[in-house]
Amino acid sequence: MTFSRDVILQPLASGLMVGAVFALISIGLTLIWGVMKIINFAQGEFLMIGLYLTYFLVVRGHINPYLTMLITAPALFLIGAAIFRVTIRPILQDPAMNQIMLTLGLSLMLQNLALAIFSADVLRIQVPGQSVYLNLGPVVLSLPEIIAFVGSIVATLVLYFYLQRTDMGRSVRAASQSPTAATLMGIDVRFTYLFAFGIGSATLGVASALLLPTYYVSPTVGLFLGLIMFVVVVLGGMGNFLGAFVGGIIIGLTENLGAAVLPGSLSRVFTFGIFILVLLIKPQGILSRRRS
């Protein structure tokens, strides 16, 4: 196969677009770990719920897909907070294996519940402007890709500045550094944990609205996207906000470059090859750990 600049530029540009979305869906997971040291294996299924909500709001409610985030983000916040309060909060002090098994069980339950309700059909939506393309020389980008990229960057920046500049954001960061000290300073750590878990879930509501116009939804969509989240978070460094963003961009680029070089499922060789290489060379992640 002969490679030229044009052949490489297109997957690089598309990878940058999807990488920003990968970063957004991974930031919630790294936030939850950074604050509570909980690995939420059901995070992919939370995204699946968000994608189904977006789909039905568009198809049945006739709402613009990008406006659905005004509904899906608060809905995912409430769903995440409710699930945290009922299932995860009681085991926060339990051994890590108990927490892992609980979130794995929650993942399987949500996946099979979706399979029973919606069957295994793959669903997609049509959006205004889907056939609009921007030509930048050899690079062609669709309007939904550009909107998803810009929206993901904006949402990531908003969350970052919220955590850095607001009182609630400072409470979240204080609880992540030392729950005991935060309690002595008058911070309600139990509520802060619930809030952080809700925010980590709400980011998936925003991502769902940005992702569905160029993606699909099915009961098993959380398997692949959940795996991508974990690869991104480990690649960037567990609990590292900036690392999750950089990791998302790297995985987006390698996914698309791999698809341009290798056929079919072999395209993931690059993605997991880089992941394994980082684990061998720098298992703490490509960036030094920073608190969210």
b or e along 117-126 (b: 16 or more beta carbons within 10 Å of the residue's beta carbon)? Answer: ebeeeeeebe
Report pLDDT for 270. 77
pTM over 0.95: no
The proportion of the chain whose per-residue pLDDT surpasses 90, expressed as a percent, equals 46
Dihedrals phi, psi of 139, to nearest 5 degrees? -100, 130
Contacts of 48 (CB under 8 A, 6+ apart): 110, 111, 114, 217, 219, 221, 222, 225
Report pLDDT for 4. 59
Assess whether pLDDT exceeds 50 at residue 147: yes
When mean pLDDT is compared over 30-39, 47-56, 92-101, 140-149, the highest value belongs to: 47-56
Please give the residue that has the higher pLDDT: either 215 or 6: 215
SS3 124: coil
Assess whether pLDDT exceeds 50 at residue 273: yes
Residue with token string 């985030």:
69
What is the rounded CA–CA span in Å between residue 62 and residue 68? 10
Confidence of residue 260 (pLDDT cuts 50, 70, 90): confident
When mean pLDDT is compared over 75-79, 137-141, 210-214, 287-291, the highest value belongs to: 75-79
Assess whether pLDDT exceeds 70 at residue 288: no
C-alpha distances (whole Å) from 87 to each of 91, 95, 99, 149 are: 8, 15, 10, 34
Neighbours of 112 (CB within 10 A): 12
What is the rounded CA–CA span in Å between residue 244 and residue 159? 13
Report pLDDT for 291. 42
Dihedrals phi, psi of 277, to nearest 5 degrees? -60, -45
Taking residues 116-141, report their average pLDDT.
Answer: 83
Q: Which CATH number fits domain 5-281: 1.10.3470, 1.10.540, 1.10.287, 3.30.70?
A: 1.10.3470
Report pLDDT for 263. 64
- Rounded to the nearest angstrom, the gap between the alpha carbon of residue 42 and the centroid of all alpha carbons in its chain is 12
Confidence of residue 21 (pLDDT cuts 50, 70, 90): very high
Neighbours of 201 (CB within 10 A): 31
Report pLDDT for 292. 42
Report pLDDT for 237. 82
Report pLDDT for 290. 46
Confidence of residue 115 (pLDDT cuts 50, 70, 90): very high
Q: What is the pLDDT of residues 80-92, one digit of tens each?
A: 999 999 999 998 8
Domain spans, the chain: 5-281
- According to DSSP, the residues that pair with 217 across neighbouring strands are 123
Report pLDDT for 195. 95
